[in-house]
């Protein structure tokens, strides 16, 4: 990869890329997303069609730095999410950075849709739901070893959820979508940084980064880093 902002005199090696994504200490929420030039966030319903070696490298780095991965149930189900530590490349890099080999996947679901027996329905998975979710389902998930956090009455209260995660030592949170969750997180003002990969593709016909709904008010962001490899742009935007 080469650095466009700040500019680099030579190509960045793997170590330099890892260091460029080192998060600040304390509570920090990143959202990571890949999209096409026209804003599409999937090809045939999955984000894998937009992927590249550069995007995969940054995906691995971001997962290596985080304490927890935050994801909506629809994305976790549709993308076949499993334990973070099951990815040997991520686990190896986490070990090199002195991090635990695994990090919990935190599934957000207003209806507690995660089912006992699912790939993620075991420790260290965390489910964030709300009080209106079926209490029997919540109890069954707890018995299966899922840590269930009730945050909000009729919908998930994301600020309260992040407070609860931080109280459990999970301060560095990586939000991986989907669009509805990213929109809700930005609207709730809990996202500190957006890591956005732009694939050199035109797809069309798919929802954008924030889904089909706009924000209450436009949100200004500041570009703090831009890398490039084979036409793929990897940007970091600060929302603070």
What is the per-residue DSSP string for 133-164? S-HHHHHHHHHTTPEEEE-SSSS--HHHHHHH
pLDDT at 39: 87
Residue indicated by tokens 């957006």: 194
Question: What digits encode the pLDDT tens for the residues 134-165?
Answer: 999 999 999 999 999 999 999 999 999 999 99
For residues 121 and 81, what is the distance between their CA atoms, to the nearest angstrom?
A: 11
Exposure class string for 88-121: b at 16+ Cβ within 10 A, else e: eebbebbeeeebeebbbbbbbbbebbbeeebebb
Flag residues of the chain having pLDDT under 50.
none
pLDDT at 42: 78
Q: Which fold does the domain 22-38+56-238 belong to in CATH? A: Dihydrofolate Reductase, subunit A (3.40.430)
pLDDT at 100: 95
Residue indicated by tokens 């998060």: 23
Residue indicated by tokens 């730095």: 65
pLDDT at 206: 62
Q: Which residues have CB under 8 Å from 135's CB, separation 6+?
A: none
Could you tell me the residue ranges of all domains in the chain? 22-38+56-238
């Amino acid at each position: 990869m080469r650095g466009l902002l700040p500019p680099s005199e030579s190509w960045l090696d793997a170590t330099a890329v890892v260091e460029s994504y080192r998060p600040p200490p304390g509570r920090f929420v990143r959202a990571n997303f890949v999209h096409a030039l026209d804003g599409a966030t999937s090809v045939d319903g999955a984000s894998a069609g937009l992927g590249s070696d550069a995007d995969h490298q940054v995906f691995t780095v971001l997962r290596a730095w985080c304490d927890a991965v935050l994801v909506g149930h629809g994305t976790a189900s549709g993308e076949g999410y499993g334990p973070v530590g099951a990815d040997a490349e991520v686990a190896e890099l986490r070990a090199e950075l002195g991090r635990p080999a695994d990090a919990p996947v935190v599934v957000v679901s207003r209806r507690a849709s995660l089912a006992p027996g699912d790939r993620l329905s075991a420790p260290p998975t965390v489910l964030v739901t709300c009080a209106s979710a079926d209490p029997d389902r919540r109890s069954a998930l707890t018995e299966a070893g899922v840590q269930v956090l009730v945050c909000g009455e009729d919908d998930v209260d994301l600020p309260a959820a992040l407070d609860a995660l931080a109280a459990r030592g999970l301060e560095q949170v990586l939000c991986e979508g989907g669009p509805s969750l990213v929109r809700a997180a930005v609207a709730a003002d809990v996202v500190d940084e957006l890591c956005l990969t732009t694939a050199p593709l035109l797809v069309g016909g798919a929802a954008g980064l924030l889904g089909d709904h706009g924000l209450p008010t436009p949100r200004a962001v500041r570009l703090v880093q831009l890398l490039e490899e084979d036409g793929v742009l990897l940007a970091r935007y600060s929302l603070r």
